[in-house]
Amino acid sequence: MEKRECSCIKWELTGIPCKHTIASLNEMADNNEKVGELYTLVHKVYWLDTWKEMYSFKVEPIKGRAMWPKSDCPTTLVPPPHNKAIGRPKKKRMITGEERIEIQQRKRQANSQSQNDNETQSLSRKFLTVTCSKYKQKGHNARTCKAKDGN
């Protein structure tokens, strides 16, 4: 209590007593030990007097760029060049671990369903020979037919 420190470090970081400090203050008060003024345990930044002192002066707003003071700096600041990235823009939202697992499970289910579908479906045209619809010849179709028309 004298060092104003706690093992959770919250009191040192924020300047406001943590729950452990308040519990020990309550225990000290129950044992009739001297606690002192409670507001002194909070950092001076949070005191009302400090706030009043900070905002005691008046801030005058400037009415636009025309009233800005001119700079003596000889160089002008130019924004950095903008290079548009090639390709599709990256997603802004990152996928969580749980979502990644769900996506993998859905892919596995889709793969197993497609394997089941392949087993039950008829064969594709991949290994069949093509027949010309004009002259009923095998090996080519009507679009690529080079036989001479009777016309």
Confidence of residue 129 (pLDDT cuts 50, 70, 90): confident
Which DSSP category does 46 fall into? G
Do 117 and 104 touch, CB atoms closer than 8 A?
no
Q: 11: buried, middle or exposed (CB in 10 Å: 19+, 13-18, 0-12)?
A: buried
Look at 46-50, 64-68, 125-129, 137-141 and tell me which has the smallest mean pLDDT. Answer: 125-129
Alpha-carbon distance of 49 to 47, in angstroms, equals 5
Confidence of residue 81 (pLDDT cuts 50, 70, 90): very high
User: Mean pLDDT throughout 108-125?
Assistant: 68
Please indicate, yes or no, whether the overall pTM of this predicted structure exceeds 0.95.
no
pLDDT at 57: 87
Q: Is the dihedral of CA 128, 132, 133, 137 positive or negative?
A: negative
pLDDT at 151: 40
Alpha-carbon distance of 121 to 143, in angstroms, equals 28
The share of the chain scoring above pLDDT 70, in percent, equals 88
pLDDT at 71: 82
pLDDT at 94: 85
Do 141 and 132 touch, CB atoms closer than 8 A?
yes
Other beta carbons within 10 angstroms of residue 17's beta carbon come to: 20
H/E element, 21: helix 19-30
Check pLDDT > 60 for residue 142: yes
User: Mean pLDDT throughout 67-82?
Assistant: 85
Q: 130 - beta bridge partners?
A: none
